[in-house]
Amino acid sequence: MILHPHFDVNEAGHLTVAGVDAVSLAEKYGTPLYLIDTDAVRAMCRLYKNTVKTAFGGASVPAYAGKALCYKGLYRLIAEEGLSADCVSSGELYTAHSAGFPMERVFFHGNNKTDEDLAYALELGVGHVVVDGTDELEALERIAAEKGARAKILLRITPGIDPHTHKKIVTGSVDSKFGMAIATGQAFDFVKAALAAPHIELDGWHCHVGSQIFDIDPFTDACDIMLAFTARVKALFGYTPKILNLGGGMGVRYVEDDPGIDYVKNLTDMGAEFDRMCALYGLEKPAVVLEPGRSIVAAAGATLYTCGSVKTVTGFRNYVSIDGGMPDNPRYALYQSRYTVVNASRAAEKSDFPCTLAGRCCESGDLIAEDAALAQPKRGDIIAVLVTGAYNYSMASNYNRIPRPPVVELSSEGDRLAVRRETREDLLALDL
Ligand code: LLP
């Protein structure tokens, strides 16, 4: 096993993903190639579905955050597993709808939804619009009235949490483009306006503290602040929310020195804290919604590349260049995100060739990993980057007019092309 149970090495000395030889997958589908182990995705869906229900109470559900990985087949899987979904654009809504996803199970997010987005969401019968601010509330009221509809909403509230310091740095994170802040008092006016809008049905609140968080303190802090807010709203307006949506953000192990995460324990501990706080504030327990994205799909994914140039800059470093890079995985260029890289063709050999894994764009910052170590790579070897299921395909671009790779699903039923490879003709499809 390498990092996660579905990454291993076979007798041929090749990396396997979900038990399938990565080198043979690269031969069959070409590279670069995104792989996703859908049995691993389903296992995470079931873990979340069962644990959220037992930890937070019967009506509580996970809503998969499609921004982590979005294509029709995945929405079909999420629907089959009985999760709700978080969509953040009309493109994600369209994908979910086209996959036959039950739209009443969708939470529609975004800090700047256009009138067109809001009208489209109502037409599709989206379950809840998560309203981000006062003028969006006014726009939704107007659009719902025009359609003779009543829009169910949550309000996006800023609790003022900085997950990276694990402290409540109120002034820091209140300054955000998302939501309305409790600390400034604006969240209370927001609730008042929502309660007064005749074509709006207020079902509760949403907050989101951040992403790639390894322990539960930021979540329990957020829960505490949101429940204290709830108690205050109840006292002021006599209103009690049905839903408390605490957003996404659970971390994932990308490299050996990341901690392992016990998701069941974390969720169970959060649930116990939630119960305790509801009792403390004298509140009936709202249904809790969590919006995991990364932790559902990241570990299930890997990307395969073909090694091209292997170059040593004498006195400096080794550059191993692959046939992909920042267009299919911009996360190192954007955030210096760390990844585990493996020479999939020589996975049983010692990883003792220190190198920088470079992409093929015309840009020095186009790197996937620095300070990597690979079994001595040769032109034509297959290089795997592990744990790329989240925020890789969904963040891919056509920079340098490079077509996007296909997505191949792996499961006990075999391999399936879920998204085909973009062609050069596809790149011209919009050019008039
Ligand atoms: N809900 C809301 C409202 C969010 O803003 C996000 C992520 C999630 C749920 C899902 O969070 P997760 O469970 O995936 O952490 N591109 C960045 C990540 C940006 C996350 C933005 N919001 C990356 O590649 O690390």
SS3 for 318-387 is EEEEECCCCCCCCHHHHHCCCCCEEEHHHCCCCCCEEEEEECCCCCCCCEEEEEEEECCCCCCCEEEEEC
Lowest mean pLDDT among 124-128, 158-162, 232-236, 364-368: 158-162
Q: Is 330 in the pocket of ligand 1 (CB under 6 A)?
A: no
Residue 185 clears pLDDT 60, i.e. is over it: yes
How many angstroms is it from 272 CA to the middle of ligand 1? Answer: 24
pLDDT digits (tens, 9 = 90+) for 271-317: 999 999 999 999 999 999 999 999 999 999 999 999 999 999 999 99
Q: Is 38 in the pocket of ligand 1 (CB under 6 A)?
A: no
78 Cα distance to chain centroid: 13
The catalytic site residues sit at: 362
pLDDT digits (tens, 9 = 90+) for 252-270: 999 999 999 999 999 999 9
How many angstroms is it from 286 CA to the middle of ligand 1? Answer: 23
Work out the pLDDT band at 171, boundaries 50, 70, 90: low
Q: What's the pLDDT at 364?
A: 96
Q: Is 62 in the pocket of ligand 1 (CB under 6 A)?
A: no
DSSP category for residue 403: P
In the predicted model, what is the mean pLDDT of the chain? 96
Q: What's the pLDDT at 172?
A: 57
| β partners of residue 8 | 16
Contact 293, 213 (CB under 8 A): no
| β partners of residue 84 | 63
| Residue of 291, 328, 385 to mutate, ligand 1, most atoms within 8 A of C-beta | 291
Residue 193 clears pLDDT 70, i.e. is over it: yes
- The single-letter code of the amino acid at 318 is N
Q: Is 207 in the pocket of ligand 1 (CB under 6 A)?
A: no
Within 39-179, strands assigned E span 61-65, 84-87, 106-108, 128-131, 151-158
Q: Which atom of ligand 1 is nearest to the CA of 211?
A: 15
Q: What's the pLDDT at 196?
A: 98
Work out the pLDDT band at 105, boundaries 50, 70, 90: very high
Work out the pLDDT band at 169, boundaries 50, 70, 90: very low
The H-assigned helical ranges of 99-199 are 115-124, 134-146, 170-174, 186-196
Give me the domains of the chain, ranges plus CATH numbers.
Answer: 7-30+300-427 (2.40.37.10), 38-297 (3.20.20.10)
Q: Are strands 243-245 and 200-206 parallel, antiparallel or unpaired?
A: parallel
